[in-house]
Each structure stands twice: as C-alpha cells, then as structure tokens.
Amino acid sequence: MASRRTTTLAGTLAALLLGTSALLVPPAAAHGRGGPGAPGHTLDAERFARQVTTRGVWRHLEELQRVADRNGGNRAALTEGYEASAQYVERTLRRAGYTTTRDPFTFGFEVVDAASLTLDTGESYEVDQMRFSPSSPEGGVTAPGSVPADPLGCTAEAWAGVEAAGTIAVVSRGVCPFADKAVAAEAAGAVGVVVYNNVEELLNGTLGAEGVVQVPVAGAGLADGLALVEAVAAGAVLTLDVRIHTEEAESFNVIAETRAGRDDNVVMLGAHLDSVEDGAGINDNGSGSAVLLEVAVKLAQQKKLNNTVRFAWWGAEELGLIGSTAYVEELAAQEGELDRIATYLNFDMVGSPNYVIGVYDADESTYPAPVAVPPGSAETEAVFTDWFDATGQPWVDTQFSGRSDYQAFILNGVPASGLFTGADGSKTEAEVALFGGTPGIRYDPNYHTPADDLSNVSREAIGIMAPAVAYATARLATDTSAINGVSGPGDQGHHHGPWKPGKGKGKGHGAPHATLQEAS
C-alpha cells in the first residue's frame, strides 16, 4: 500500500526509457465477436477458481523475490528492480498468449535533500518530511524543544501554559489530523514541528494540502519520539533539517487484456507492482501482482468469454497512486472510454502473515465510506462475499476508503471492490476466532520494512484469496448484469453507450464475519 516519498536512487531512469510503447490497450479494438443474437458463453466460475492454485501463485512470488535480491533488495518505482519485475510479468503474459502494453506516465518526483534531527548533545534521529510541509532552510532550524501539556497537541488548549515561542514542538500522533497538530503548534509560536508515531516505525505523514503552515513538519518513530520528549525536558537544543526538491520522472503501468469478450463491457482488475525502497515488497504488493498474474495466465486458456477482461499492474503506487491515477485520467479524456469499464477489482496485500480475509465494504454495511461509492460497487462486493459464503469462508468488511489504486476509478464513477488481508492495524480477539493468528499484533508486522519478503507471506492466505479472485474474474467475465445491466455477448465492435447500474442483489452474510479498517 502506498507510502509517500522515496529518495534518490542511482541509475533509475535509463532502464525505464527503453522499450516503452504506446499508451493504452484500446478498449474499442474489435476482437472478432459473434454477431447479433450470438449465444452467451458461460465460464464455470467454480471450476475456474480451482485452477488458480497457491503453487502457481508462489512461483511468481519466488521470481519477484529473486528480482529484488538481484536489484538492491527492492522493486521500487524508478529502479532496475521495478523494470525487472515488469519484464517478468510481460514475459509470462506473452507466453500465455497476451499482447502486453506499457502505459507510460510522467510525474513530479520528490527527492530528499535532507532528513535529520540532531541534538546539541550529539544524538541524531531519523525523520521524514511530511507531505506538503515547507522545507527548512539549508542547515535546518535550530531551537530548544517544547512539548504540549496534552502530548497530542491537537488544539490551542493543549499548549496553554507552555512556552512554545521559538521552539521545535514535539507532539504525539493520535486523535486528530497531523495538520491540526502543526497548526496548533505554529499558533503557539513553534518554528518547527516533529510528530512521533504511536507504533514502532517511522511516521510518513501528510498535511493534506499546500500552505497549511509555514514551518517545517516532520514525522518520527515512537522510540525516537519518546527519547526526544526526555531530551526536551533536559533542556536539549534541536536542529531539524528537512528539505526536498522535485524532479520530473517517468514510469509505466503494464496492461494486458483477453482476446475474447465484448469490447463495450470490460471487467478490469489491478494490483500495484512496485514495492517501497525498504524491501522486496513480496506481500505489498507482490502478493496481489502474483495472484493477478496467475489468474491472467489461466484465463488465457479460455477461448470464449462474454466480456473482455483487462489486467493492470500499476506503477508508482507507493509514491501516491500515481500510475493508476494517470491511467484513469487518460481514459477520462477520451469520450466514452470509462463507460466501457463495467467494474474495477483491486488487490493490494493478499498474503499478510497475521491475516484476515477482508472485502472492501462497498455497501457500507459496517463502515460509512469517506468517499462517494459509485453505483454497482455493492454488487461487485457481493461477487466476493457470495464466494466466501458459499465455501464457508469467514470474511470481514474493510472500509471502502479509496486508499489504494481503486481511488481514481471510484472518483470517476466506476464501480469497484477488492480484497485485503491487512497491513498495520492490529488483530483483534474476534478476528483470531475467525481466522486464527495472534491477537494484539499487526496483520503484517513487516509492512513497509525489509522483512516483507517471501518467508513472511502466508501460503494459507494466498490459498484463500487466489481462488476468490479467480471466481470473481470468471463470474464477471460471463455476466455483469447485476452491476450494470449488461449480459451476454454484444454485437461485434458495437458500443452500447454509458451503462446504468442495475439493482443487483446485496451481499450475503451467511459465513461468520467481523470488521476491519483498511490500512493507510
């Protein structure tokens, strides 16, 4: 899942500029459909689900691990590891009979020039400049520290009685947005702000928009934050140096689609292919990428489908959902192209070691969505929950928040859903009762760390999720009428215009289920 920024890596752009080709797989290209009145082609979804196995997915995960091992330990955007990951996906798809397309995009790439917090006593701490924070002057801001009376520092009242003018404020994560903490500290007179995490990892945060404050704001880890609080109490002087600049960069998505299926009713599935810089990213998101790849390979053996199925391996997700957003914006600029997408399915982290079986809560039966939910999304969710209920597999809702590559789709009115096994939330006793595992620790303790490798991916979770993805793919390749009222093969090359969502049926809750918050 997405983090915010990466640092400069040597030799990154050269490989990306080689072999990039045309923009999008054209949805309107004729695939040689039957004419009017041609019978529908029913793909046995349950049988197809059995064809997508853990063993098949695992072979792809092993290769992605080898790619990382050969390329500095990661597969991050703008690196040789990402290029090699894409080449593996492309090679595998071509062997299966697909024509692959690289969809290039350019974007402003933030390069870190400085990220340090030092004390006059010699100690130093790792920090990360928050997104939309101003940079410090070269050499940083040097000042005494201050801590609010209420460590969370959310309001002016938290600073009552504290001498904060001309200091670097040190506040704890929690309760309110980072922007509120920064605004309150600046109003109290702080010349810099450090927000420390409430878990043991570096805090990568955002202020949400430009111009929120005029002072530099950075995130720190929990242990460092607590050490800073003690140092401030002892009278230490802090130097906060966080600076970035922006360069233009280019990356790409990998796109492929089935030869069979009507062109005006496309079922689209996606997973981000890039990792963070800190590790191989075999769960985040080699797992979603590998499941998607195995489903595509098996689906290529089907010569007749009612609907085209399009697959996307997104680039630069970890830098801010950049690849998927660029793709959707490109489609939106072409009249009618988004209307051809019946629904979008997203798979981001489906092999967490302390897993739950999570389905995006598109019908808002558990969580009110913080975004508008396009009509047809609840019916898309029901395809997954129908499968889990029919197989007796417990599942939980995860908030339909748009915090992965389905964001751009739903913002443009395309129905969506997806699967998720958990990231940095902690597993509850109720979830242990449903899925096993360990209560009180994170679903993926290795999330965004060097330990996110093949040894820490759950075979059991993959074994549950891979058939679910396959089932949903086959079912929607046959019929999307519950989502958009379209069923059966269409006229060859004929476009039926914008779809109108059908009523469909709500999700079934036959199997035990609980709730799960989607990770940020």
Active site residues: 317
What sign has the CA pseudo-torsion 155, 161, 164, 168?
negative
Query: In the chain, helix, strand, coil percent, each to 5?
Result: 30, 25, 45
Give the residue among 321, 389, 401, 404 at the shortest CA–CA distance from 361.
Answer: 401
Strand pairing class (141-146; 479-480): unpaired
Cβ proximity of 379 and 507 under 8 Å: no
| In the block, residue with structure tokens 């928050």 | 130
The 3-state secondary structure of 80-97 reads HHHHHHHHHHHHHHHHHC
CA distances from 74 to 22, 85, 204, 280, 500 (A): 27, 10, 19, 4, 43
Q: How far is CA 49 from CA 380, 383, 429, in A?
A: 17, 13, 30
Where does 255-347 have alpha helices with state H?
A: 288-299, 322-332
Q: What angle do CA 83, 271, 515 make, to 5 degrees?
A: 145
Question: Residue ranges of the alpha helices (H) in 344-494?
Answer: 377-391, 407-411, 429-435, 459-478, 481-484
Distance between CA atoms of residues 432 and 519, nearest Å: 18
- The one-character DSSP state at 282 is I
Q: Which of 110, 117, 151, 142 is nearest to 5 (CA)?
A: 110
